[in-house]
Structure 1
Amino acid sequence: MQFYYGPQMPLRILDEAEFWKHQEEEHTVVIRELVSGLEPEFVDALKKWEQALGETHKQVVSFIESVIRSGSQVSDQLYQQVLQLVSYCLEQSESFIQLCEQIKTHSQAVSSNHTAKVVLNHIIRESEYFVGIARALLSSGQ
């Protein structure tokens, strides 16, 4: 993601967050569907994550609507709320990555499924991409 969006930057990072939260939500389903015999504790955790990521996605969409309604004048308060939401999204993605790592490492069903390992690695890399974008934005003071 490029950082030359100027006053559109809050909307740009929210667009990224919206896309990646939706992706992560879908990834919970992909993992459950791909890995037959996945241990119940991981299935339950993924279902909870699906719900949590869906809620975050809804929050991001709501903020997108607020930024759009504010026109070219995003208030400092709204901007700070956007940054807080992005920080939350970053932390949520880091926790989701941890869950995926746990599944990859501790699931018997995954240990015997090469495709599942490849897919989990791909899902982890995709979430890490969003984490990198969010960190860059937050550290740049945008």
Structure 2
Amino acid sequence: MRYYYGNSMPLRVLDECEFWKEQEEEHTIVIRELVKDLEDEYVDALLAWEQAFAETHSRVVAFIETTIRMTGTFTYELYRDLTTLVSFCLEQSNQFIAFCNQLIQESEPVKNNPTVKVVMRHIIDESEYFVGIAQAVLYSKSI
């Protein structure tokens, strides 16, 4: 993400949240489809993750719609709520990364399939990329 968006930075951050929550939701499907013999407990967990990401994605979209209607006026309250939402998205991604690492370490069908492990690491890398964006935004003074 580029940091030259100026006053549009809050919208750009929300765009990133929207995109990455949708990606993570899709990643839950990829894992389930790729690992046909995945243990039931992990299938159930992935279904829960899919739902959680869908809900977060919806929250982000609703926030974007609210922000757009503010016509460029970013109040203290809006910034506070934006920071809270980005923090939530960041923590959710960190938890998903931990879950994916758990799959790699504990799931026999994942541990025994080199291709699946590569895909899992790619999924983790993508979530870590979003975490980096979210952290940069939260720790900067630019929003």
Q: Tell me which residue corresponds to 1:104.
A: 104
Q: Tell me which residue corresponds to 1:124.
A: 124
TM-score (norm 1): 0.98
| Aligned-pair Cα RMSD in Å | 0.7
Q: Superposed, which structure 2 residues align to 1:1-142 within 5 Å?
A: 1-142=1-142
**Rounded Cα–Cα distance in structure 2 between residues aligned with 1:115 and 1:74:** 46
**Rounded Cα–Cα distance in structure 2 between residues aligned with 1:130 and 1:92:** 11
Between the aligned residues of both structures, percent identity stands at 59
- What SS does the corresponding residue of 1:115 show, helix, strand or coil? helix
Moved over 2 A (4+): none
**Rounded Cα–Cα distance in structure 2 between residues aligned with 1:112 and 1:46:** 19
Structure 2: any 5+ residue segments left out of the alignment? none
How many residue pairs match? The answer is: 142
Shift of 1:141: 2.5
**Rounded Cα–Cα distance in structure 1 between residues aligned with 2:52 and 2:91:** 13
Shift of 1:82: 0.7
Structure 1: any 5+ residue segments left out of the alignment? none
Shift of 1:120: 0.2
